[in-house]
Structure 1
Amino acid sequence: MCPGLTDDVQQIDDARKTAETRLADSGSIREANYTFFWQGLSQDDPRRHGVGFAVKNSLTAAIEPPTGGTERILALRLSTTAGFVNLLSIYAPTLCSTPEVKDHFFEALDEAISRIPSTEGLYLLGDFNARVGADRDTWPSCLGHHGIGRMNENGQRLLELCCHHGLCVTNTYFMCKERHKVSWRHPRSQHWHRLDLVITRRADLSTVLHTRSFHSADCDTDHSLVGSKVRLTAKKIHRTKTKGLPRINTCSTKDPERSRLFQDTLNEKMDTSSHNVTDTDSKWYHLRDAIYSSALTTFGKKEHRSADWYEAHWEKLQPVTETKRKALLAHKQNPCPSTRDALRAARNKAQQTARRCANDYWLNLCRRIQTAADSGNARGMYDGIKTATGPTATKTAPLKSKTGEIITDQCKQLERWVEHYLEMYATCNVVTDAALDTLPSLSVMEELDALPMLEESKAIDYLSCGKAPGKDGIPPEVLKSGKPALLQHLHELLRLCWEKGHVPQDMRDATI
């Protein structure tokens, strides 16, 4: 027996649908715990509507990023052990919208559902601005025994669409408290209604364990959070791009104790058997793996993320945020002047604290950037600027064929890229003998043919710190920290490369 959804909202965190994002165009941005995808109107249009998804970072390897959505409908494809599942983020027109707007929306929604194969799972999540009511006798294939309220015009349009595609409203199939069935309260009548729905195929209803509202979730919106627990197991999508190596924490290389420990660990791994290797590739692989593993063990992994203004002042913001959440819940349970005044006071206190913390954070960050710029610390200055600008928003654009049609199939997308690059590099450049004869003849520099001496020491000293590592994952700071233990091994490797006339592929590959 499954007890259904947990009361802890923080545990319902796999994928979340967002509406009224009011963000321009389309794109994605990766934060600490979630990756956000959004779709809105163009940059020149008013910031209205907008839909999106917030996907837990652990699930990003199992999804196909959304493409080709609108400001009201956005689709995301999730790979599971039972096959692909499609999630649609919906923001429907309100009841007072014009019939033309409603017709256009439901036609677009019908087209989006029709494009999804019937063998794949389908879940519609969103603010449908529709009351579907509780008339199960009239809509037996769409509604369960636990509906609420009466149906309106938008609700009838939605149920007709559900009947046509074999869909059902999961909110009406689970017995729960009345307040867990509703998600929005009318501002004038103060009556609660069910507008936010989770819809799936009738055949997939058994995968939905529970759907209910959470009024305790403080989202700063007039809608309450609606959660649905679904029995699905994500399956990673195979991608050709290999996963990069973990970055080494170069800040620890400044610690003398850790540097000595790194050198000792490296000497232990570089046993005498490596000195007898005569193959350049084998010698390089042995040296590369020894350096990287020793550095990763000694210095640890690099933390890519720095705290934002909210996390930096978590101790101050958490109490006022919790007080505001409790005041909101008390007002929803007992709407009266006293709870309303308490909610206003809690909101004012939270806003004042948030503004003060944000202001202090930005002042300290600007001061740090200015100090780095005045002292000539270019790296510190650019690190501060990068922290201020935050993560880069990734813009997404659909791949089109020569005729302008949008390509969604991955195999056809790869074929289109092959076609594009074949056309780009199809021209053959012909070099004539006359052009070769015009090249000047220079004298041979015999001194360059001599074996390399112990000049690697100067080369290591001249390495610039703060640079990105290559394919081997070894940053310059690690080479400088382990210079006493590495110098002889690097010299032997370079001599072997010189004598054999062969350089390992890792040293020839460029990272772009």
Structure 2
Amino acid sequence: MMCPYPAVADAGLLSPPLPEDHVLCEMMALDGNERRRITPDKSPTHSVVLRPSRQFNVRDNSPANRHSFHGMTSPLTSPTSRERPEQLKRYSQQLHYPASYTDLPPYCGNLSIAKQRQAQVDRPADGGNRHTNMRGSMWNTVNARTSPGSDLQEARPPPVVKKRGLPRDERPRLKTLVRVGSLNVGTLTGKTREIADFMKRRRIHVLCLQETRWKGSKAREIGDGIKLFYHGLEAKRNGVAIAVSGPLKEHVSSVNRVSDRIISLRIATKDGFWTVVSVYAPQCGCTEADKEAFYEELDDVIRSAPEGDYVTVAGDFNGHVGQDRQGFERVHGGIGFGRRNQEGERIIELAEAHDLAIASTFFIKRESQKITYCSGGRQSEIDHILVRRQFLKTVKDVKTIPGEEIAGQHRPVVADVCIALPKQTKAVREPRIRWWKLTGETQKTFREKIAAVGLPDPCGLIDPVWASAASTILTCARDTLGETKGGRRGDRATWFWNEDVQKMVKAKKDAYKAWQKTKSLSMLAEYKLKKKEAKAAVARAKNAAMDELYDKLESSQAEKHVFRLAKARRRASLDVTEVRAVKNEDGEVLRDAVAVKERWRAYFEQLLNEEFSRKERNSAEPVAGPIQPWTVDEVRMAMKKMKAGKASGPDGIPVEAWRSLGELGVRWLTMFFNNITRSEKIPEAWKDSIIVPIFKRKGDAMNCANYRGIKLIAHTMKIYERLLDMRLRDMVEIASDQFGFLPERSTIDAIFIARQVMEKYREKNKPCHLAFLDLEKAYDRLPRAVLWEVMRERGIPECMVRTVQVMYDGSTARVRTSHGITSKFDITVGVHQGSALSPFLFIMTLDTVVKHLLEGPPFTLLYADDVALIADSRAELQLKIQKWQSALADAGLKLNLRKTEIMSSSGGDDVVLDANGTAFTQTEQFQYLGSILSADGTVDAAVRGRIACAWLKWREATGILCDRRCSRVLKGKIYRTVVRPAMMYGSECWPVTKAHERMLNTAEMRMLRWACGLTRRDKVCNEDIRTIMQTAKTACTEVAVVWTRYEKITTTPYPAGLGDGSYRKAPQRRTEKTMEGHRMQGYERAWSHQG
């Protein structure tokens, strides 16, 4: 067939040939990537694009897109416009095109030119077609491969400067291309490091994995900064995962684990969000019900993605979409492999329903780059990548990567998409002093340096004295202990991936490729041998790298290292560790570092400065009298009560620094604290604090309301607060209704009384009505003016009131974010979170505000701000609640109506209303202080709840408890100190039966067997397992007896002879004494039930 246009034929642009009289030519010179577009004018839905990369694509040529290419508008108006040949010739000469191009007739269509480059066309001597691109490389139209514009492995030419009157279509850069892939791995066991190496080598940012066969729902670091989010219900089948590379893993905002066949995550990008879905469709052998359920779940996931999100669905669909695109031109490009089957019809129906495009069908590739599954001589394309049709133009290439040995039957398929990634900012690193090294000889050296330099006179001006002392301590600590570089430690789980291991793995891959080429038995045997050797090399290197760690776990400091390791592993298993983008009040996403910091600052400033309306209280007469000087013994006791290893405040000086100084530090602090008390002034540095937002693990991670703020204050100030706390507790007596933050009182006392009262009502066949009140942000909303008046009412000397006032006046805070620390803001309401003095100040204020409503246990139970009221009828209960609501409102506190619940043993539909007529929520079960109370008085729900809590603790420590290299004695110690207390919490109050004992014993033995690595098939009896783990069987009755004996012991909470020389014992009105008869009767009943 002869071409009617000699210029086109001479240029060698027609391949394959097109029907005569059906040709419209459109030429595009694009910076070394010349495109010649040949469009049949009578087939408006197809066009052929011939590229110098030796491939051609069938592209959409609908009326909306017919006169554009990659979003560019032609300089000429339309293909039907009649331009004079002279104008066309002059236009081409301006762009330095060969003269032969001007031989085209004027009706040849759009001449769209985006770059100003000369297209060099050479005619070889043999008459064939040969062209040279701008890099001088030779190419022709055979052996199609990825175009230079989308090949991540090839260097990019320099950008073209936009010229006058010409549109700019710059080639996508490597930094703007994101590679997403999909692979059915068969199993992830033993392949995580190879997956990480594969992603790094192939520059894959997001990889969807199927058939992982991993049980659980966690995240895990697998090396090279890659994080794996996985989900599975069984260890032998199904399972899906998504692996995200380092630049993107910190921008994952949420993970949705739908089932063991569907998992999705949302990644924040520069211009929006990218929703990635990994799917594993049911195989042909599965039932129709399974397939329908799968596609219904997938429909819901895709539908839940916001309209503006860039959606990518990738995975093993187990279906052939084929080559036929008739009737599905919008979602199917017509370049598939094989024939469509029934599962392929489902895929196309899914794409049609959600306007998704099957990306691989829009790119011509050779057969080896199309096949995704190869087994037993059968080849097919069942792994697909789907994108929203409106974003199809951002997909630059889709291909299968042959020759990868990770999966036995499947081949990875990858797509290069143009997505604007978020700006990479360096993490804010704050160097930290290595205070944990302050032991032994190091501690002695530190003390000698401080003594040599000398601390300032503690009786001088407060601020200069503290500034000089803090500078001296920090300077000597840096010289003695050194500093870290800041930030958390990197991924240490891949130390074993050394050069020798990599060589063995590479030899295995080379053997695999050789076998794939020859298919000979000798090559297959060679491959199996190399695979076995590589696996053994990885195991040896991994064991050698972990020897040092396990040596530490067997040392005397084993406990500290174990809990640190368990904490690090738990942190690595979290989906979202930090969020760099947050939402403002209107729900708009903020990504700029300055805007994010300002949002955090504004949120906490509003939260910590909101005060409810209240009535003015009558002022009490101040009590005159000085504060007795602080003694050395009091300071020593206050330091002793401080826990070690806690995060320090803004000054960076922990309590360990003062402890290491011994008597020098105690005496200096005693004089300094007395100076503060006399001058009624504290250092300005102590008034500053840092708030660390902690995600509650529920709700949207970008919503600031789903975070709990933890305030870090100076440890030296906490020591001073401990002194004030001891004095105030000696002056003020708290009613017996309060069980929180008081010596010899605990949550178990309150839980026991509540259960005993419910049981007494049940014995008398009378209805029991309980109300569980919750105060809305009680610590943060407590008016400080009310606090000062309460302190005066309780007879506290005015000088001590002023001392506490000084600690709160002018207090400020800053917020620590992923982008750094915000600026300061004032806090004028509430008591300090994380303070040693705040708990007692709060319970003292609450005790004073509602003292006229306290009926004493068992009818009023308080644990800090958790209030439980008990009444004989609903009317009485409603009246009590309204009185409490009114009293709290007068003091500036407010009931949280959403969390306040009512429970009644008699049931019924009668509602309980608050003072404004709002009905409270009624429930059959309520978790009171960690133990579930049931309306029927049984403990079944409580036992099941504690077993569930124990399993949660087990999963947090599973990194140690299931590690085969940890000693069983160490595992037993971790189980006894972490898991068992969670299971047995509140069991002192349970009237358990033998069935409950069996439930607890079954759960415990399952945990112990797993920790030992044994199953029931190993024929090891329970007694031997307990002997191995050094864990004795503990019955609930024994725990109850121990608790009862402990309660009878009278202890003195403070040492005698401190302060003014006369410290009283704890208040003598004890709940367990007033209820002792009921308690013993309750235990007698519990024992009688157990025989």
Equivalent pair of 1:73/1:91 in contact (CA under 8 Å): yes
**Cα distance change on mapping 1:96 and 1:470 into 2, 3 Å:** same
Q: CA deviation at 1:344?
A: 0.6
CA-CA distance at 1:347 after TM superposition: 0.8
Q: Which of 451, 464, 470 is residue 648 of structure 2 equivalent to?
A: 470
Contact 2:360 2:384 in 1 (8 A): yes
8 A contact 1:9–1:217 mirrored in 2: no
1:95 and 2:284 correspond: yes
3-state DSSP of counterpart to 1:85 = strand
Query: Contact (CA 8 Å) 2:432, 2:483: kept in 1 or not?
Result: no
Does 2:243 match 1:54?
yes
What does the per-residue CA deviation read over 1:324-365, in whole Å, with 9 as the maximum and x for residues that have no partner?
A: 122222223332223211211111111222333445556665
Quick check: 1:208 aligned with 2:427?
Answer: no
Give, in whole Å, the separation in 1 of the partners of 2:278 and 2:311.
11
Q: Give 3-state SS (helix, strand or coil) of 2:650's partner.
A: coil
Residue among 49, 58, 77 paired with 2:266: 77
Q: Give the AA of the match of 1:88.
A: V
Q: 1:193 aligns with which of 358, 376, 380?
A: 380
Q: For the structure 1 residues 63 and 284, does the alpha-carbon distance in structure 2 shift closer, same or farther, using more than 3 Å as the test?
A: farther
Q: Name the CA shift for 1:300/1:162 in 2 (closer, same or farther; >3 Å).
A: same
Structure 2 vs 1, CA of residues 277 and 207 (structure 1 numbering), >3 Å: closer, same or farther?
farther
Alignment of 1:36 with 2:228, yes or no, is: yes
Q: d(CA) in 1 for partners of 2:469 and 2:328?
A: 69
Counterpart contact for 2:511–2:530, Cα < 8 Å: yes
Q: Spell out, residue by residue over 1:455-485, the C-alpha distance to the aligned partner (whole angstroms, 9 max, x if none).
A: 99x99999987x243243837599489979x
Distance in 2 (alpha carbons) for counterparts of 1:79 and 1:293: 44
Residue 338 of structure 1 aligns with an amino acid whose one-letter code is S
User: Are 2:424 and 1:233 equivalent residues in the alignment?
Assistant: no
Shift of 1:203: 0.4
Question: Larger relative contact order (C-alpha < 8 A, sep ≥ 6)?
Answer: 1
Q: Tell me, yes or no, if structure 1 residue 17 matches structure 2 residue 208.
A: yes
Asked if structure 2 preserves the Cα contact closer than 8 Å seen for 1:213 and 1:225, the reply is yes
> Secondary structure at the residue paired with 1:87?
strand
- 1:205 CA displacement: 1.0
The separation in 2 between residues aligned to 1:39 and 1:74, in whole angstroms, is 7
CA distance 1:462–1:71, shift in 2 (3 Å): closer
Q: Does 1:510 align with 2:834?
A: yes
Alignment-mate amino acid for residue 680 of structure 2: K
Answer yes or no: is the 8 Å Cα contact 2:552–2:561 preserved in 1. no
Equivalent residue runs for 1:7-406 within 5 Å = 9-10=199-200, 12-30=203-221, 33-41=225-233, 47-67=236-256, 69-186=258-375, 188=376, 190-235=377-422, 245=430, 247-249=432-434, 287=470, 291=474, 295=478, 299-301=483-485, 304-305=489-490, 307-308=492-493, 311-312=495-496, 314-360=498-544, 365-370=549-554, 372=555, 377=556, 379-383=557-561, 387=565, 391-392=569-570, 394=573
Deviation at 1:96, TM superposition (A): 2.5
Shift of 1:200: 0.3
AA aligned opposite 1:117: P
Structure 1: which 5+ runs fail to align?
A: 398-408, 412-443
CA distance in 1 between partners of 2:540 and 2:629 (Å): 64
Which structure's CA Rg is the greater one? 2
Secondary structure of residue in 2 paired with 1:391: helix
Contact 2:218 2:230 in 1 (8 A): yes
How far residue 126 of structure 1 moved from its aligned partner, in angstroms, is 0.9
The one-letter amino acid paired with 1:328 is Y
Count of equivalent residues: 441
Q: 1:147 to 1:482 in 2, by over 3 A?
A: farther
| Offset from partner CA, 1:159-215 (integer Å, 9 cap, x none) | 1211121111112223444322222102x2x23322221110110112222222223
Q: TM-score, normalised by structure 2?
A: 0.35
Answer yes or no: is the 8 Å Cα contact 1:86–1:120 preserved in 2: yes
For residues 277 and 235 of structure 2, the distance between their equivalents in structure 1, rounded to whole angstroms, comes to 23
- TM-superposition CA deviations, 1:270-325 (whole Å, max 9, x none): 9xxxx998659x966995899499949952326624733x5236243222111112
Q: 1:251 to 1:56 in 2, by over 3 A?
A: farther
Q: Distance in 2 between matches of 1:474 and 1:153?
A: 66
3-state SS of the aligned residue for 1:131?
coil
Which of these residues, 138, 149, 164, is aligned with residue 2 of structure 1? Answer: 149
CA distance in 2, matches of 1:489, 1:225: 68
Separation (CA, whole Å) in 2 of partners of 1:234 and 1:283: 47
Residue number in structure 2 paired with 1:436: none
Shift of 1:4: 2.5
Determine the C-alpha separation between the residues in 2 that align with 1:64 and 1:410.
18
CA 1:278–1:327: 2 relative to 1, 3 Å: same
Query: Which deviates further from its counterpart, 500-509 or 83-92?
Result: 500-509
Q: Please give the secondary structure, in 1, of the residue aligned with 2:318.
A: coil
**DSSP 3-state at the match of 1:472:** coil
Structure 1 residues 139, 100: CA separation in 2 closer, same or farther (over 3 Å shift)? same
What code does the residue aligned with 1:209 have? K
Q: Quick check: 1:73–1:88 contact (8 Å CA) kept in 2? A: yes
- Gaps in structure 2 of 5+ consecutive residues: 1-147, 155-197, 577-584, 588-624, 690-712, 719-832, 837-1091
User: Contact between 1:460 and 1:479, CA under 8 Å: does it hold in 2?
Assistant: no
Please tell me the residue identity of whatever aligns with 2:629: L
Would the aligned equivalents of 1:284 and 1:493 in 2 still touch at CA under 8 Å?
no
8 A contact 2:266–2:275 mirrored in 1: yes
Structure 1 69/480 Cα, relative in aligned 2: closer, same or farther at 3 Å?
same
Cα deviation code 1:79-123 (max 9, x no counterpart): 222222211111111123222221221222122222223332210
Q: TM-score, normalised by structure 1?
A: 0.69
- What letter corresponds to residue 73 of structure 1 in structure 2? I
Cα 1:300/1:156, change in 2 over 3 Å: same
CA contact (8 A) 2:211 2:239 kept: yes
SS in 2 for 1:470: coil
Which amino acid counterpart does residue 249 of structure 2 have in structure 1?
Answer: T
- 1:155 maps to amino acid: G
Counterpart secondary structure, 1:209: strand
> 1:209-247: CA deviations, max 9, x gaps?
22222234442442222222222234489xxxx989554
1:491 deviation in Å?
8.8
**Aligned residue identity for 2:228:** F
2: CA distance, partners of 1:410 / 1:67: 24
